Structure 1
Amino acid sequence: MDTPQNTALLRALTELPGPLPTSGVIHVVIRHTDRFTVVGNDLAQHPGLSTTAVGFAVRIQSLPQGAEVGIKALAARFPEGEKLIAAALRELEAHGYLQRARERLPNGRIVTRTVFCNQPAALLRPRTEPAQQLPPAVREILAPLPVQAPAPERDLAPPPGPAPDSVPPPATTPPYTAPMPEPQPTTPPFVPLVPPPTAPKPPPRPLPQPHEPTPQLHRAATALLADLRRHTPQFTLSEDDIHRLAPAVAAWLERGAHPDTIRRTLTTDPPQPLRHPAKFLRHRLTALLPARLPEAHELAAPPTRPRVTVTPFQTCDGCERAFRSPIPGSCRDCRTTHAQPARTAA
């Protein structure tokens, strides 16, 4: 059977003016009347941008004002993954098409402002329009760039020969002085949200180890890891993986975690598809390690301080002065005064 032909396309080719090229692409240009975006050749044919970056630049340029263009927002809108989108956005940032800056709002909240420019090279050219007439968001970005002042008009020189008396001499005009730019508010330094691929990665956290490793703990840990595939076939581990992850499971068992709890924590909601089950289990065994159970003496109430007995005040029956005593009576002076006559009488 012959290859099916698009009759509408063939009819459009016959209507193109001039001879058609013998090789290469043939453009059939139909003018858009709605839902179109103008894309410059400096972006479409940029030699330093990958095809993925150019494609996301066109997609971002076609979105309306205020649309979310973060990594997760683009991943939810388009079929590409987050890593590919992050790499494309880094390329656009490196070539000036995309700029992301953090800004503090009057209410104290910090937001990320994203600005896309379809011609970043044009921002470096001299501009004649004052920056005060631009929108505030664009004015802050264009503030560091110089503004070219219009050249002063030259006075026309008089023709050679004596000047007639009726013609007054040309008035001299002062040179044009460019207006002083208004001080722009200082913006916080730009902090990239996605680290570059060459940024040093933090060292991985060590695998948990039991405080007192015993043969019983090791046997129970290896049995639990080997039994995971019976409940979830995705977690089929090799003997080397089981031997490597057994100390971490033993640390969980040593801290009082039940085997069913460990199995449910390790195998619930895994990523799809699960390419490296051993690495996934290592991450969960390290990041979700339960806290150590407290000992019995740690749960006991702290000892209370001994209560200090305060001797109350009493009023003396003789002189009515206040004195400290557990029982009512007389003060020391009154007791001494009454005791002296008794000894004298004796």
Structure 2
Amino acid sequence: MAASGFGKRSAPDQAPRTRDDFAHLPVREAAIASHIDRLPDGAAVDIKTLAKEIPAYGQQAVQTALNNLSDAGHLRRIRETGGEGRTQWVTRSYFSRTARDDAWWEAFLGEGGDASAPASAPAPARSVAYEALVRLGRTEPRLSLSAAECSALEGLAYEWLRRGVAPDDLVRTLAAGLPGVVHHPGAFTRTRLTEKMPPEAPSASEPPPSRRRVMECTGCGVPGRPEALPGGLCRGCRGDGPGLEPTGPADVNVRAYVSELRALARTSR
């Protein structure tokens, strides 16, 4: 796993996983994308780690593949403060098995990058709830559920997600501390979903603490505004000319963020 706060983050509202998610990509890119897609949130997805985990490709090949995945809309690297009043900057790699265009990623950047669907859009969250129940059976065979049972329990699972529980945490909680034999997985899971239901999340009436965020080039890490990083890549990494110096209309906040990033880089040398 990456250091706390760093590493992979799943983008919201992805389509359910299928065997053809990356069929549109070249073989190398598809293999690396499939590997990243299966990793849990928080896993290290830097070049060296991926090259160790996927022996078929060296570091240079992995770097090129990550650039191509960024250009195809599956990956963006974003540097942001930790939130909740913390000032530490962390770099997170947001991954989406569903390819997204630049406009989607720019909107996502502006929304704060929360990895859960908004409460006003329950349909995608319900599909995530169903998928979590399917994954529960694959993670813990004693709780293998039928399609009918997944549908029947989807509403309860969705309520967990609505209250702020991540899908991975939902699966871990349901699968923890099982008896040796589970005779009725559906009834057992329903009981756990009901009795272990977490409390309501804090009211959304109060705005969350502001989080400062800047997109980075997937290839070299230079910060820039989304419109200056088409496909998540600067001009140099796209092969269109010299590397990027952030440009665009004057934006005091963005310029302040970039200045702070550069100061952090100097102090870390």
Calculate the TM-score normalised by the size of structure 1. Answer: 0.24
Calculate the TM-score normalised by the size of structure 2. Answer: 0.31
RCO (CA 8 Å, sep 6+): is it higher in 1 or 2? 2
Higher strand share: 2
